[in-house]
Each structure stands twice: as structure tokens, then as C-alpha cells.
Structure 1
Amino acid sequence: MSAQRQETVRRLAAPDITDRKGKTPIVCLTAYTAPMAALLDEACDLLLVGDSVGMVIHGLPNTVGVTMEMMILHGQAVMRGSRRAMVVVDMPFGSYEGSAQEAYANAARLMKETGAQAVKVESGPTVAETIDYMVKRGIPVMGHVGLRPQAVLVDGGFRAKGRGEAERTRILDEARATAQAGAFAVVIEGVAEGLAREITEAVNVPTIGIGASAGCDGQILVTDDMLGLFDWTPKFVRRYADLRGEILRAVETYAADVQARRFPGPAEIYFPKAG
């Protein structure tokens, strides 16, 4: 056997994430491309190929227009770029709401064609039965409660959830049902801080917060937001870099060098070999 064989790295899976309940917080970020997945892999426990790819990469106004083909394409790229982190792929709008059987078929396709370790669904009032159906048939599922981006057309926009008592109760019930149906973790997005803590205490699987609470079992952000690639970011995002500014400065410098014929210079040009 070759001495140069690459060291085998065990990729994290659903049981590893579930076992982190109440322990060291779980680090999660979104990824849509192989190069970014490679950069994030070592620091992250879980990479989510989110349907946010429709807005972040493809310029869509929301996630409703995202297709299975888009999720498969980006899921394959992230799997190629990562080695250690668990990879979860979002099931796009319309791929799991119709029936449990249809959801299973689409989830199985996502996992077969990408090699990802799990799928994620937004846990509306009818989704718990679908999660149960898929989990019993070998599909690891992550749930998602609170602000549900795929429901943007029903809600009329992206608004924080759980501030009123009736809505608070509904979200808590959906989170409990999601966990009881067999989800290995639950994303909590855009809810009142106290509700996120209550959900975290009420369910026996890890909660992953985004605009929720530091008391969740882990956190996730859209990587492009966290890196400052957009001129606007949601309230719940902390910018850890200003890559938008860096890119703009680099492009302006490049344009000036081209216009002044400073680029390419001797270091970037091929010359005939001597002799």
C-alpha cells in the first residue's frame, strides 16, 4: 500500500451532531461551492447547502424559485470541497409538502446524487408526519422552525416570529413535534430570544440558532453575510470581515493598472527561453 496514501478523515454524521446536545456548541455555516466548503471545513461541524443559494448565488428575490437541480448541483460541489464536516442539503420549496412518499423520493435523490449526510425541511404544521416517514426509511432529517423563508409569500415578508403568545405556542409545538418525529437537530430562525431558550430546553435534540439565542446548542449564519459580501445584512448577523470592501478595492486597483498599462508587468508575462 502506498506510503503516500492520504490520511482518512471520518466525516461527522447525524448521531455525532445529536450527541452534542447541551455540550460544546455546534459550529455551522452555509456553503454552496467547493472552494468555500474547503475553507470552512476544518472549523465547522456542519455545512448547510441552504436554499438561500437562490438569493446569495443566483440573485433570486426569495427561496421559492429554487429547484432540486440547483440543490443537487451545489450539494455535489460542497461534498467535493469538504472532508470532515457533516453536509446537509435543504429540500427546496415544493419537494416535500405534497406527500410523505414524494418527500422520501426527493430526499433519497438528493442524498444519492450529492453524497450528503442529511436533508433539511422547514417544519410547518403538517411536516412532522413526513419527517417521521423519512427517518423510519433511513433519511436523516434536520427540522427548521420559527421564521420559515419558504413561507415568505404567505407571511408577506421576512419577519421575526414568536412575539405573541399564540404564535409562540404554535412554534414551540412545531419544534416539539419535529423532534419527536425523529429529526436529529432543529434550526430555530428569527424568534424571540426567550422562546429559543424554551425550545432548546423542551426538545431532546440540538437546536441551531440563527437570529435566536446564544443559549441554543449551536449557531449558523449565511457565510456570505458573515463575511460582509453584501452592503446590507440582517440584524442578527455579526460581520466578521468586510470582503465586499476588499473586493471593491482590489477591482478598482486592477482596473487602474490595466488602464495605465501597469498590468501585466514583467512578472506576469511569458518570454522566450534563453538559448
Structure 2
Amino acid sequence: MIDFEWYRSFIGIYKHGSVSGAAKARFMTQPAMSQHLAALESEVGEPLFTRAPRKMVPTDKGKELYTKLVPLIENLESTTQEIKQTSNHPSEMPLIKLGSPVEFFTGRVLEKVRSLDIRYLVHFGTAPTLLNQLIHEEVDLIMTPKKQTVTGIEYTRLEVESFVVVAPKNMRVEEELEDIEAWLQEQAWLSYGLDLPIIRRYWREHFNKRPDIKAKHIIPNLQSILKAIVRGMGISVLPKYLIEEAVEEGKVQILFPEASVGNALYAAYRIDQRDEPNIKSIVQQWKK
């Protein structure tokens, strides 16, 4: 007779790509995890993984079993979560560990999720850091501008943020500038990173090439970049939601507003948490 825990161990190994990673996530010893897998493979009658150095690669039978098991396990866990929530005292709101870039959380997430009856334990970080935290179950849900193919992780697109060139209010630009690229190259640029993130995309979309510029200042925080622009330290490419108030107050200006660039933002969560009610509530809030 198959033990339900064998299935949970199999799914854990599939998600983490290793016995050690799955054992750590399930607070089990590696020998116990290996015994679960061996017992399930014996019951199935063939290997579910190919053992490679530092990685467990699922076989075709392993992929087939995972595809069939996950919806069933998700339904069981979702039902348990719903029962747990309805049995809680009304004052005991559920807790979600939410990861997000700090600027996006402040500029968009707060407004979207503030009305939900959920408590938040917020983690701030870059996209790679947040994804790693999600994989290792340190957070339940992340908001990220990067969609990467990772086993066991699912993405839902939330929105496309629009980025524009932002400059100090007193900067003067000729109304009919013939060579916009040449003019932009002469300016003092503020960038989020050395590789000119989003600035590089802006250049490729509007000038069909990589930017031939070097940032004057590297400031790894979009809100700080905005403050630097207000103080006349340079120009940058920033999301519209971040600069709305500064534009209305006359502190900065948008240059070449017709030349914007879009950047998709996603909610990411572990597949086995897809039907978790609170994660679904947060994702669905974007559709309202």
C-alpha cells in the first residue's frame, strides 16, 4: 500500500531538484527521503528520476506521475487551508509572506492589497533574490519583473508598467530636436545598475541598438534615483507610477512622452500553492 508521504517526498524532490533540498524543505533526513523515493519507485515499477551529479532529473514516468499528482495534492491542501481559515477566530487574519521590489511595493502593491483581510510579512529584494526565497519557501508569493522557467514555479502576469525618460524640471530641450539619441548620449545618466537595466531596453526599442553611454551615478533604488533627478543630478528612465506625484508637483518632467517602453510585472508562486485562497485573492485583486 502506498504511503501518502511517499508522494509528498516525490513532489519535494521534483520541485527542488535534489534529495537534500527536498529533505531540508520537509525537515526530514536525506536517508528517510531516499527511502520514500525508493519505496515509491518500487511500487511504480520503474525509476522516477535519473541520478546526476548534484541534481535529480525526472524521467518520463516521473514527469507523468508529477503531472497527475500535483492537481490532487493541491486540491487537498486548498481544502485544508479553507477549513483552517473558516475555523479561525475572525481577528486572526491569515499571514502571507510577500516578496517584492521595494519601489513596486510602495508604488503599486500597497494600493492593491490594502483592502484584503490578510496580514503581510514583506520581504524586499531584487528579482533573483526573491525567486531564490520563493524556491526555498522563505516567501509564499513574489512580485517580479522577470519571468524565469523554474520547475515548480508558476507565473501570472499582473500588468505592464510604462517607463519614460525623466529629467529635472528646469532642463531645456529643443522642441524639434533632430537627433534625439545624440542629445540623450550627452546627458548625465542615473542608472539602477552597471548594466543599465531598462535604459538598455529603451535604447534597443527606440534606437535599435545598445546604448553607447556610461552612467554618471549608479543608485540601486528607483525612489532614490527620482530624488536625485529632482536635485538636478541627471536623467533616467523610470516607471510612470513612481513619478506621477513629482510630475504633478512640478518637480520633474517627462521627456519625449510618446517614446515609452513597457515592462511586464508578474506574480510568482509555487505550483503546489496555486489554489491557496489568499494567494488567489491577491492575484485576482489586480483584475478589479
TM-score where L is the length of structure 1: 0.25
Greater helix share, structure number = 2
Greater strand share, structure number = 2
Q: Which has the higher contact order (CA 8 A, sep 6+)?
A: 2
